[in-house]
């Protein structure tokens, strides 16, 4: 899993689970709308934003492009593309909030947008307004776009290492 000191657990998310979780998030966000549009934080927020846009019948979608991960290592966030708006009436969507560093940059860009993620970790949780599932800080969330099918050791065998 890469950085053994930071990530002790793996939380694999299937396409089906991601879709269910995005629909659950949509139900929560529906009550707060209507929304002018969705801002996806790329790249992780693209798939959740597409599902949420469909569920909420939102047709205006834009991106804020930030990069802070290189596989398992989180570094400084680089702004690759920003938007020219304050975000009022918009949803800001990402797949997860981890430490909150990327979230802080995105929220500073669009301070009036409603920030929602599918998953949240304790360090970043105060940054997000709406989310579905919280996992521990030492858990790596393995998204379906980063995974393939292969044999997995039983948990009991992995924890003996």
Angle between helices 46-56 and 15-30 (to 10 degrees): 50
The answer to whether 38 and 60 are in contact (CB under 8 A) is yes
Q: What is the radius of gyration, based on Cα positions, of the chain?
A: 16
Percentages of the chain per state (helix, strand, coil), in multiples of 5: 30, 30, 40
- Find all residues with CB under 8 Å of 98, minimum gap 6, and list them: 74, 121, 123, 124, 137
45 dihedral zone (left: phi>0; alpha: psi -120 to 50; beta): alpha
Which residues carry out catalysis?
94-95, 98
Regarding beta strands 9-12 and 73-81, do their DSSP bridges make them parallel or antiparallel, or are they unpaired? unpaired
């Amino acid at each position: 899993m890469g950085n053994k000191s930071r990530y002790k657990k793996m939380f694999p998310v299937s396409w089906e689970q991601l879709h269910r979780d995005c629909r659950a998030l949509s139900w929560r966000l529906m009550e707060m709308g209507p929304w002018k549009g969705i801002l996806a934080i790329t790249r992780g927020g693209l798939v959740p934003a597409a599902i949420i846009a469909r569920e909420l019948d939102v047709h205006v979608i834009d991106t804020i492009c930030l990069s802070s991960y290189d596989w398992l290592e989180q570094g400084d966030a680089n702004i690759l593309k920003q938007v020219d708006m304050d975000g009022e009436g918009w949803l800001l969507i990402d797949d997860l909030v981890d430490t909150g560093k990327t979230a802080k940059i995105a929220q500073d860009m669009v301070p009036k947008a409603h920030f929602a993620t599918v998953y949240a970790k304790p360090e970043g949780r105060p940054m997000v307004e709406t989310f579905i599932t919280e996992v521990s800080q030492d858990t790596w969330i393995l998204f379906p776009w980063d995974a393939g099918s292969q044999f997995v050791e039983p948990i009991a065998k992995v924890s003996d290492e």
